[in-house]
Every structure is written in C-alpha cells, then in structure tokens.
C-alpha cells in the first residue's frame, strides 16, 4: 500500500513531504488544511487524536509529530535504490537524533514567533517586540549550530540527511532574520544549501498553490 501523508504543504506537513521528494518515494498526498475544522472531524481525530497535521499512514501504522514522520520515513523506506537519508552508523544516528530534538526544543517556538510577528500576521496584529525577543533568544542556539557547522557541510557530516530536513524546515522560518544570519554565517550558508535543493523547491511550489 502507498504511504499516505495528510496535511497541506503550507504547514509542518512540508517536512515529511520534503523527505519523500528527496527519496523519490511513491506516496499519496492528502492536502488537508489546518484551518476550517478539517482536523477536528471524527475521521481525522481517529488518525491523530491531537487534531494536528501532519500524519503519515503507512499501511495502518500511524505516525504523527512532523519530526517523527521524517525520521520514521527515512528509516522505513531506506533501500539501496533510494538516496540514504537515515543513519548509516551510530555516530550519524546520534547526530540525526540530537539535532532533530534540539530544533524542536531549543528553536521552534521562537522561530514561529518570529515568523508570525515579523512576516505572516497582518501588520496591525503583529507585535514587533515578540519578533525582536524571539530573534534575541535564537542567537544562543544558533551559535551552537554555527560552531557545529565549522568544517562540515551538513549536520551529520559530509552527507545530507533527515537531520538537515528537520532543522532546516524550522530555521527556514527565520531565514529573513538578517542580523541573526549575519552573526551565524555558517548557518546562513548551510540553510541556503538546504533550501536550494530541488525537493524543497517542489514542496514550496505545492505550498504556494495550496
Ligand atoms: N508538534 C506538532 C505540531 C503540529 C501542528 O501544530 N500542526 C498545525 C499545522 S502546521 C496544525 O495542525 N494546526 C491545527 C490546529 O492546531 O488545530 C508537529 O510538529 O507535528
């Protein structure tokens, strides 16, 4: 059975969608919106009782939480024919796990506050102070990442992996934070490298047409 991914590409569902496009995986995309009640129907709550997208349905195995979806798919569908985005040894596994957890615990809340209050919300509803605070908070974790990227093109080393998808899909929200990027130039370069990949661009096009 073809793996199903629930959730519009203009949401955190972009994360597992980016992964399946990188791997060239056959999948069925159900572009459910997050607004308007589609995630509160009894049918949807039966697959994710949290009422959130994304959800991956792998022949009845249900995975929710976007980072879990990415890590699950990378491992589940690794084959000699597909680009390897999962770990190939314990050291890579450590990198993939720690950076994927790090980005949700250390960065995602502030990155979202920046995105909403600097870019997404109508100007009269934005609170610029919240965007400024978020940018200031993010400097500490992004300096850690900047240091890590010294001498390596990707988070786990020489190879683009699922960790780069997890982290870049959150930090894409702050790519427009010019002062932050100027203070973390390796993060800036790595982010540009990740976000210029054809698979990411494909998902952005899907999001724009959603
Ligand atoms: N931690 C969850 C967050 C999921 C989430 O908040 N998804 C949003 C769309 S990006 C959603 O479904 N919102 C609908 C709602 O909260 O009712 C994840 O990473 O999957």
Q: Which domains does the chain have, with CATH numbers?
A: 3-84 (3.40.30.10), 90-199 (1.20.1050.10)
The atom number, within ligand 1, closest to the CA of 65 reads 20
Strand (E) or helix (H) holding 178: helix 178-183
Residues 6+ apart with CB under 8 A from 37: none
- Pocket test of ligand 1: the residue of 18, 36, 53 to mutate, having most ligand atoms within 8 Å of its CB, is 53
Q: What is the CA radius of gyration of the chain?
A: 17
Q: What's the DSSP call for residue 154? A: B
Q: Ligand 1 centre and the CA of 193: distance in Å?
A: 26
The atom number, within ligand 1, closest to the CA of 67 reads 19
Q: Ligand 1 centre and the CA of 68: distance in Å?
A: 13
Predicted TM-score of the model (pTM): 0.98
Q: Tens-digit pLDDT profile for the chain (210 aa)?
A: 899 999 999 999 999 999 999 999 999 999 999 999 999 999 999 999 999 999 999 999 999 999 999 999 999 999 999 999 999 999 999 999 999 999 999 999 999 999 999 999 999 999 999 999 999 999 999 999 999 999 999 999 999 999 999 999 999 999 999 999 999 999 999 999 999 999 999 999 999 998
Taking the C-alpha atoms of residue 149 and residue 147, their distance in angstroms, rounded to an integer, is 5
Does ligand 1 have an atom closer than 6 angstroms to the CB of 108?
Answer: no
Among protein residues, the one with the nearest Cα to ligand 1's atom 6 is: 52
Give the C-alpha distances (Å, rounded to integers) separating 173 from 27, 97, 112, 159.
26, 21, 7, 23
The atom number, within ligand 1, closest to the CA of 53 reads 12
**How many Cβ atoms are within 10 Å of 31's Cβ, its own excluded?**
19
């Amino acid at each position: 059975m073809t793996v199903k991914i629930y959730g519009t590409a203009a949401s955190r569902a972009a994360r597992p969608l980016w992964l399946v496009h990188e791997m060239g995986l056959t999948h069925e995309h159900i572009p459910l919106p997050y607004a308007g009640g589609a995630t509160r129907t009894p049918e949807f709550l039966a697959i994710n009782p949290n009422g959130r997208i994304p959800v991956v349905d792998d022949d009845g195995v249900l995975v929710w939480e976007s980072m879990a979806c990415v890590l699950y798919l990378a491992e589940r569908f690794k084959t000699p024919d597909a680009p390897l985005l999962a770990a190939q040894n314990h050291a890579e596994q450590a990198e993939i796990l720690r950076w994927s957890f790090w980005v949700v615990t250390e960065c995602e809340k502030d990155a979202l506050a920046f995105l909403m209050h600097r870019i997404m919300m109508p100007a009269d509803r934005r609170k610029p102070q919240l965007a400024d605070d978020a940018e200031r908070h993010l400097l500490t974790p992004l300096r850690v990442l900047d240091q890590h990227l010294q001498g390596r093109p990707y988070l786990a080393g020489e190879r683009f992996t699922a960790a780069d998808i997890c982290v870049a899909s959150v930090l894409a929200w702050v790519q427009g934070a010019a002062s932050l990027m100027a203070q973390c130039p390796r993060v800036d370069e790595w982010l540009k490298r990740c976000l210029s990949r054809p698979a990411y661009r494909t998902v952005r096009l899907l999001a724009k047409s959603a």
